[in-house]
Amino acid sequence: MRPGKPWSMSEAGFTKGKVGTLSNAEIADGLTSLAQLMAAGKENPYKVKAYQRAAARIRTFSKSIEDLVREDADLTTFPGIGDAIAACIREIVTTGSLGKLEKLRAGASPELAGISQYPRLDPKRVLRVYKKLGIASIEDLKKNLVAGEVEKVFGLRMAQHIRQGLTETHAMLLYRADDLRASVEEFLLTNCGVRRAEPGGDYRRRVEVIEEISFVIESDDFQAVVGRLERFGGRTPLVSSDKHDAVFALSAGILLRLREATQGDWGLALVACTGSNAHLKKLSAVTGPLKTLRAAGPWPSEAALYETFGLAFIEPELREGYDEIDRAASGTLPVLVKRADILGELHAHSTSSDGAHSIEQMAGAARELGYEYIGITDHSQSLKIARGVPVEDLWKQIRFIDKLNARLSGIRVLKSAEVDILADGSLDYPDDVLHELDYTVCSIHSRFGLNREQQTERVMRAMDNRHFHILGHATGRLLLKRPGYELDTSRVIEHARQQGCFFEINSSPDRLDLSAENARAAAQAGVRIAISTDAHSTREFGLVRYGLDQARRAGLTKDDVLNCLPWSKLSALLRR
Ligand SMILES: [Zn+2]
Ligand SMILES: [Zn+2]
């Protein structure tokens, strides 16, 4: 499906003196390279992050940043762009280079300059690898990676970091793609003469990391649409095209695919454009080859197509090629959990640890959302970097919440904590205080390097404690940044089932942990799953939609989800 080496646009990084229209990607590359070299020096990490975030935003803009600068627009009206970053952007556009970046480059060693061509590599870590292996170039780094040397000396996580940093596909987290989808869709409808546009592909199936976003579109003149789209975001290079299909390299780093359809074959085009390969293969066993179906139309909608072949409508999130075709034929598809089924939040932080809002503010926001309850799960005492709550303060917090509940109406605040699972599998608070909590979320935040056997034992020993309820972010993964620790999930699921413990799907867009695959396995074993946001501020409750995406991809119904239960039923389940 995906071309092997689509384009090499940002591989070369930002180079000085480009002529012609600057694409938003090239401007973003300038900021990213600057951030990377700043990170390699002693620059404040918050400042580095601000540059990285601004670059990521710019990549999703539909308007040409160059045009905005030339029109003298105030760039600081865009979120995340302050005066310093706006000045950098203006300098790139007006002079074709960036003085700060050139200065840092000139002062950088050849090793560092080489690394800075790959913006996702962490220069400090890679330089450590260079030193230990006695190498000095990206070429040698690649060779050592392929030969397994990096993994042997530095372990799996370092090898994965480097592999991801060096890959030429520029994957993107789903939540960033949501902004991008909106801006591409608007551009298609208002600037390109497109009558109708609907997204498909991995994006529509809500896959957590995507490399391509595709649209089915209807217009009078497909070639004219293709021509206009090349102006999206300043300049968007066309990678390939034929009569009804075109692929572009978006500034955001992923591909954009357009597929032309008519009113008469809209449903067929959407079906063909949405399902995974495995799904389409199973589907065509029922319908015959999709290519030949066109003549047998019309297929104005997906529902019409499914109905013709005796299938119930299959939600896009289920079109992965598991058992959905059989279940659509037998009328036994799950009714997927939806936003309105969620009755409360079970993982949220307050100012007691590293959250931005007080317990009362979090409770007020949860009530606004129509929730029945919210669990306050601040970090436990050992997690110093996240201002973990000392045991005396947890006792105070318990008494505070009791008083608060007596005073509040319309929401119940649950007494809880995100309790660290220590290296030996013990929990980070004594039993007497844990006993006073309504439930716990227990998570691993340290010693990621233990091996699979040790890590699995650690989690299972923790589950043996009767004050353990929900395993927080089960594998600790950060998508596109670090893999999770190794865990034998089938053993952990079986142990959770025996002990009456639960899992969560952590809705943070870069965690989404459990994965859909593991969530499916847990639910099939009869282990309920919480869909939690791990909110560190009132704004982050909205992230629940990404947890719901994962849950739906796992085929979960509201009966599989812990926080679809009212408190009266949930509290009974939490007694072990
Ligand atoms: Zn955590
Ligand atoms: Zn948390």
Distance from Cα 445 to the centre of ligand 2, integer Å: 10
Distance from Cα 540 to the centre of ligand 1, integer Å: 15
Give the ligand with the smallest distance to the CA of 476: 1
In sequence order, what are the beta bridge partners of 413? 374
Q: For 137-156, how does the pLDDT look when each residue is reduced to its tens digit (9 = 90+)?
A: 999 999 999 999 999 999 88
Q: Dihedral of the CA atoms 366, 517, 2, 181 (nearest 10)? A: -10
Q: What is the DSSP annotation of 130-182?
A: HHHHT--SHHHHHHHHHTTHHHHHH-HHHHHHHHHHH-SS--EEHHHHHHHHH
pTM over 0.85: no
Give the ligand with the smallest distance to the CA of 442: 1
* Token pair of 127 as six digits: 């330089």
* Token pair of 50 as six digits: 């601000």
- Looking at residue 169, its pLDDT comes to 55
* Token pair of 239 as six digits: 């990678």
Give the ligand with the smallest distance to the CA of 420: 1
Distance from Cα 534 to the centre of ligand 2, integer Å: 5
Mean pLDDT of 117-142: 90
For a pLDDT cut of 90, what percent of the chain falls above it? 71
Give the ligand with the smallest distance to the CA of 345: 2
State yes or no: pLDDT of 4 exceeds 70: no
Most confident stretch, 152-166, 330-344, 477-491: 330-344
Distance from Cα 525 to the centre of ligand 2, integer Å: 25
In contact, 556 and 337? CB cutoff 8 Å:
yes
Distance from Cα 343 to the centre of ligand 1, integer Å: 22
Q: For 243-259, how does the pLDDT look when each residue is reduced to its tens digit (9 = 90+)?
A: 899 999 898 888 899 99
- Looking at residue 18, its pLDDT comes to 41
Band (pLDDT 50/70/90 cuts) for residue 13 is: very low
C-alpha 132: how far from chain center? 33
Strand, coil or helix: 89 = helix
Mean pLDDT of 105-124: 84
> How far apart, in whole angstroms, are the C-alpha atoms of residue 279 and residue 257?
20
- Looking at residue 192, its pLDDT comes to 96
Per-chain mean pLDDT for the chain: 91
Band (pLDDT 50/70/90 cuts) for residue 376 is: very high
Give the ligand with the smallest distance to the CA of 478: 1
